[in-house]
């Protein structure tokens, strides 16, 4: 069954160990921020730092594991039609829009959407880490470390598939940041098999 996440919103749901989560970009050019928490101990959470350290790469794709703060594999990428995702940057937030965009009345962003969706699972905002940003395109200059946020490379219907290696609570958004999504806000879809 296909679930939809409306533009600039988020969702939280459970995925059991061994199940597959497919994140789909129905229209193309849209980012989805993904978080994972261990359902039996919600203090165990997805870790960008651990994952990138063990991968010795900042771009992850098919075959790569996503580790927790306790160095357990939470998810593994088992299929990837796009090959460019970000795991460096935090979920966009009201502060992102205030500081980077100069908005006076900023949207709550992926951070606020994730915090609201995950609240019923006992997650507090301070427990939200760097998300795995599906389809987010952040090229980095290897000499200077300078990066830019470019439109996603995903085309309509492209997807990435994760296999759960723990019983998880997942947070997932249709990203709210203009720069990340080529200037327009589109839905995200997902499926659990």
Report the interface residues with Zn ion, using CB under 5 A.
92, 110, 175-177
User: Within 10 A of 172 (CB to CB), how many other CB atoms are there?
Assistant: 26
Q: Which strand ranges, in their side-by-side order, compose the sheet holding 188-192?
A: 2-5, 188-192, 20-25, 158-164, 73-80, 65-67
Q: Output 34 or 177, the one with its CB closest to Zn ion.
A: 177
Q: Output 21 or 92, the one with its CB closest to Zn ion.
A: 92
Q: How far is the CB of 61 from Zn ion (least distance, A)?
A: 21
Q: Which strand ranges, in their side-by-side order, compose the sheet holding 168-173?
A: 10-15, 168-173, 32-38, 132-134
Q: Output 137 or 176, the one with its CB closest to Zn ion.
A: 176
Q: How far is the CB of 10 from Zn ion (least distance, A)?
A: 9
Q: How far is the CB of 67 from Zn ion (least distance, A)?
A: 22
Q: How far is the CB of 137 from Zn ion (least distance, A)?
A: 13
Q: Output 110 or 138, the one with its CB closest to Zn ion.
A: 110
> What is the DSSP code (8-state) at residue 124?
-
Query: What count of Cα atoms within 13 Å lies in the side-chain half-sphere of residue 162?
Result: 28
């Amino acid at each position: 069954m296909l679930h939809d996440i409306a533009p600039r919103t988020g969702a939280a749901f459970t995925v059991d160990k061994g199940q597959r989560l497919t994140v789909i970009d129905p229209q193309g050019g849209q980012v989805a921020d993904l978080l994972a928490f261990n359902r039996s101990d919600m203090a165990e959470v997805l870790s960008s730092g651990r994952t990138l350290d063990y991968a010795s790469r900042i771009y992850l794709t098919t075959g790569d594991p996503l580790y927790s703060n306790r160095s357990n594999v939470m998810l593994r990428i088992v299929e990837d039609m796009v090959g460019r995702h970000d795991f460096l940057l935090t979920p966009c937030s009201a502060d992102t829009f205030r500081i980077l965009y100069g908005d006076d009345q900023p949207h709550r962003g992926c951070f606020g959407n994730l915090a609201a969706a995950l609240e019923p699972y006992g997650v507090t905002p301070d427990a939200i880490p760097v998300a795995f940003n599906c389809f987010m395109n952040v090229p980095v200059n290897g000499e200077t470390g300078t990066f830019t946020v470019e439109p996603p490379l995903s085309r309509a219907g492209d997807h990435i598939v994760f296999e759960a290696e723990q019983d998880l609570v997942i947070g997932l958004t249709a990203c709210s940041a203009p720069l990340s999504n080529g200037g327009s806000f589109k839905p995200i879809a997902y499926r659990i098999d």
